Structure formats: C-alpha cells, structure tokens
C-alpha cells in the first residue's frame, strides 16, 4: 500500500480523462483491502472515470460503467473486487442498508461510493474527494480531498 496521493485539503487540477484514470490507479495503490472511498461532485465531473482507473489498476479488464440506475456494481479483481455504489437516486440512505450495504463493504473488496454524503458517519476514516469542472470544455477538473 502506498501513501494516499492527496492530503486532506489538497486541491489538484487534472486535464483529460487519462489524468483522472491515473489518479484512480494511484488511489487503488493507496487504499487498503476493505477500504472505502467517497466521491462527490456534479454530474459528469468524472467520478466514474476516476473509478475506471482504480478498478483497472486492481486488475479488472472489462468495462466499468456508472451504476446510477443499478445502484451498485461489483467488479471482480484478484485482490477481492471493487464495489462501486452510486447513491444519487437514493432518497434515504436506509435503503442502502436494507440492501445490506455494510456486508457488501466489509471484507477484502475496495468500495467506491458516489453521492454518499449521508454515509460519511458510517465510515468516518474514509477519504472524501470532490470533483468539479474547471472549464466549459469539461476537459479540466479540480479534485479536492475534503477529508
């Protein structure tokens, strides 16, 4: 496990999807087995792109897509897999616990949770990253580690 690539409060500007995927790969190297990462930000800010880099770095070679409509995807990897949750359409976080989210997060898999603001208290040590568009072309994004 490597050091986390962003310190709390650090802001980084990334240009292009490749830079976001590279940061995702660095996050994969830094997150421990069973680690949780929260991503927040406007639609299209690159949360799934960042997750694609993370999942690929952990050994998943197929397509990674946003789980907005499915709520969650599990990607099998040699180290235990990646749980990718999108809570955008969830009205009450209790719905996620009814789907046994805690059991899915536990164990060796890494969990990436988008739009999970209502879950921060459940995993108080999990890093939170905010992604934002910087320019109107959508190619430049600002990543801020909130905690």
CATH number for the domain spanning 58: value is 3.40.50.300
Question: Which pLDDT score is estimated for 4?
Answer: 92
Question: Which pLDDT score is estimated for 99?
Answer: 62
Residue 126 lies in a domain: yes
Q: What is the 3-state secondary structure (H, E, C) of the chain?
A: CCCCCCCCCCEEEEECHHHHHHHHHHHHHHCCCCCEEEEEECCCCCHHHHHHHHHHHCCCCCCCCCCCCCCEEEECCCCCCEEEEECCCCCCCHHHHHCCHHHHHCCCCEEEEECCHHHHHHCCCCCEEEEEECCCCCCEEEEEECC
Residue 27 lies in a domain: yes
**Of all residues in the chain, what percent carry a pLDDT higher than 70?**
83
**pLDDT at position 138 over 70:** no
Residue 69 lies in a domain: yes
Range of the domain at 87: 12-145
Residue 79 lies in a domain: yes
Q: What is the tally of structural domains in the chain?
A: 1
| Mean predicted confidence (pLDDT) in 56-60 | 96
What is the pTM assigned to this prediction? Answer: 0.88
Residue 6 lies in a domain: no
Of 32-46, 87-101, 104-118, the poorest mean pLDDT is in 87-101
Cα separation, 6 vs 26, whole angstroms:
10
**pLDDT at position 147 over 80:** yes
What's the count of helices (H) and strands (E) in the chain, helices before strands? Answer: 4, 7
Question: Which pLDDT score is estimated for 112?
Answer: 94
Question: Which pLDDT score is estimated for 80?
Answer: 85
**145 — pLDDT class (breaks 50, 70, 90):** very high
**pLDDT at position 134 over 80:** yes
Residue 115 lies in a domain: yes
């Amino acid at each position: 496990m490597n050091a986390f690539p962003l310190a709390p409060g650090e802001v980084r500007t990334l240009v292009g999807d490749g830079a976001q995927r590279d940061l995702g790969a660095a996050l994969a190297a830094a997150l421990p087995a069973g680690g949780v990462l929260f991503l927040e930000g406007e639609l299209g800010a690159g949360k799934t792109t960042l997750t694609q880099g993370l999942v690929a770095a952990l050994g998943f070679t197929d397509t990674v897509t946003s789980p907005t409509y499915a709520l969650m995807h599990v990607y099998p990897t040699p180290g235990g897999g990646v749980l990718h949750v999108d809570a955008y359409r969830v009205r009450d976080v209790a719905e996620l616990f009814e789907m046994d989210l805690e059991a899915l997060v536990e164990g060796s898999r890494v969990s990436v949770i988008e739009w999970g603001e209502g879950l921060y208290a459940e995993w108080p040590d999990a890093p939170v990253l905010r992604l934002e568009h910087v320019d109107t072309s959508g190619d430049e994004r600002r990543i801020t580690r909130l905690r």
